[in-house]
Amino acid sequence: MGFFKDLFGGSDESDELKKQQKLFETLSDMNAGGCTTDEMPNGIGEFGLEPTNPIPTNTPYGSILYLGGLRAPDGTVVNNKRLGSVGADNIKKPIDKYLITHKNGNELAIIYISPYQAINSKKSPAGLDQVSPLL
């Protein structure tokens, strides 16, 4: 028996946590047949900087991990803002578009991420570095 169950008589896992786990499992299953390399095999153009060559990540959670590991050329943590979804003829699923800014407010890049792939890329677009040990 878990501590919280003993203390409060409830379950160890909240309904919300169970929903999040189910969502993660569903998204991971959807992505199982996706890209398994750091770069999309059918990508066209500059990696991560063109919607036709998005950064592969595994689920929106993987995108969060990827974005959290991005750094400016000076090593500074960057900010990101999701600008919406776009499509590309050579990529089957929606692509997320993000504005990447330095903490001083300067715009560094607009990047494109495909969160419906089998793995999280460890590669970074030109002008940015990727330092996350969690990818």
Model confidence over 38-57: pLDDT tens digits? 999 999 999 999 999 999 99
91's CB contacts (< 8 A; 6+ apart) are 40, 42, 43, 51, 52, 54, 114
Res 13: pLDDT: 67
Contact present, 32 and 24 (Cβ < 8 Å): no
Res 9: pLDDT: 55
89 C-beta neighbours (distance < 10 Å), count:
8
Q: Does the residue 38 lie in any domain?
A: yes
Q: Does the residue 27 lie in any domain?
A: no
Q: Does the residue 7 lie in any domain?
A: no
Look at the chain and report how many structural domains it folds into.
1
Q: Does the residue 24 lie in any domain?
A: no
Rounded Cα distance, 81 and 52, in Å: 20
Contact present, 120 and 67 (Cβ < 8 Å): no
Q: Does the residue 59 lie in any domain?
A: yes
Res 7: pLDDT: 46
Query: Across residues 9-13, what is the average pLDDT?
Result: 57
Q: Does the residue 36 lie in any domain?
A: yes
Return the bridge partners of 114, or none.
56
Q: Is 93 exposed, middle or buried (0-12, 13-18, 19+ CB in 10 A)?
A: middle
Residue ranges making up the domain that contains 79: 32-130
Q: Does the residue 2 lie in any domain?
A: no
Q: Does the residue 16 lie in any domain?
A: no
